Amino acid sequence: MIPKSLFKYLERVNLIYSILFLLSTLYCGGNQTITTIAFGSCLKETRPQPIWKSVINLKPDIFVLLGDNIYGDTHDMTKLREKWNKFNSVEGFQKLRSDCRLLAVWDDHDYGENDAGLEYVPKAESQQIFLDFLNEPKDSIRRNTPGIYDSIILGSDGKRVQFILLDTRYFRTSLMRAMERKSGNGPYRPDDSEKAELLGTEQWNWLEKSLKAPADLRIIASSIQVLSSNHGWETWGNFPKDRTRLLSLLENTKGEIIVISGDRHSAEISQLHLTNGFPLLDVTSSAMNQRQRPNSEKNKYRIGEKYFKENFGLIEIDWSQKKPSVEVSIRDLDGESRIKHRLDYNRK
């Protein structure tokens, strides 16, 4: 439990950085040309976070938190709020918030319980605490509808970037356990039943409408991987009906699309050529202040190798031609590129 004196100090610090965040939001503006987007996931709030220095040095216009932004893992909302406040008081993160616009989704641990979905009891309370952390206005739609999904479009005509922020927790049905766990794999298997769902009816309706909005590049933030689907941990592949529906929806969406994801405590870039020939990337960045022991997990969509040390992701956009060209990369603790891939959408 944080002492009351320290708790009051953190609240004052958070107020200061809330004001700085609002000023930076005004500075970003809806017409700012977005050229650099950084992102990452999985931050133990009790461990040092030196990686923020490297993120800040690259001067991103946007940073997207992809979930497990803290390890809350509690039904006690006072404790959950304390952990968000502790994260928000990290010096490097405060500097980032004052320098660029912050967007975020949650995953299981900051939602409140490991691998939890709709069955997590205090999810409505957790939602409000998450939105408090983001300084979401009290009268916003995101405050008054179930779930934390959201969409925002930044940039002028011809250079519009749409951020689709998905909620893979609030509406998700329970995971199905594997009858026999394969060596090196996680404990789950695909659920083919009609009742199995990841996003829920309301979020699907919202997503279909949101993807009709004019945009030149769309960034879809999913806390869990969309493409890699056979590792037995959390993935869209555990909900094959919803995964097929998502890929079909993206095939029929105008504008270039990149998925960014987290959760895995390792980083990789995956690519799938949709049936319309368009390449779909899923760039997974995890974890920002934790390491995983190297493994040989299979992923038929992977481009290059996996990276197992501290990392964050970066998308760099070149708007000099009719369509954007992008370079996506996984950056290490020092900001050096470890995995990268370039897509020029003018050459599809």
Question: How far apart (Å, rounded) are the C-alpha atoms in residues 301 and 304?
Answer: 10
Domain that holds residue 263: 4-347
Q: What is the arithmetic mean of pLDDT over 154-161?
A: 96
Question: pLDDT at position 184, please?
Answer: 84
Cα–Cα distances (Å) from 119 to 113, 143, 225, 327, 329, in that order, read 10, 20, 21, 39, 36
Q: Are 59 and 28 in contact (CB under 8 A)?
A: no
pTM confidence score: 0.91
CATH number at residue 307: 3.60.21.70
Q: What are phi and psi of 342, to 5 degrees?
A: -115, 140
> For residue 172, what pLDDT band results from cuts at 50, 70 and 90?
very high
3-class DSSP state for residue 37?
Answer: strand
Q: Are 187 and 144 in contact (CB under 8 A)?
A: no
Higher pLDDT, 8 or 276: 276
Q: What are phi and psi of 105, to 5 degrees?
A: -125, 170
Question: pLDDT at position 7, please?
Answer: 42
Q: Any idea which of 20-24, 46-50, 326-330 has the lowest mean pLDDT?
A: 20-24
Question: How far apart (Å, rounded) are the C-alpha atoms in residues 53 and 185?
Answer: 34
Percent of the chain with pLDDT over 70: 91
* Helical H segments across 107-239, by residue range: 108-111, 123-133, 141-144, 201-210
The per-residue DSSP string of 127-144 comes to HHHHHHHTT--TT-HHHH
Tally of domains within the chain: 1
Kindly report, residue by residue over 56-96, the tens digit of the pLDDT. 999 999 999 999 999 999 999 999 999 999 999 999 999 99
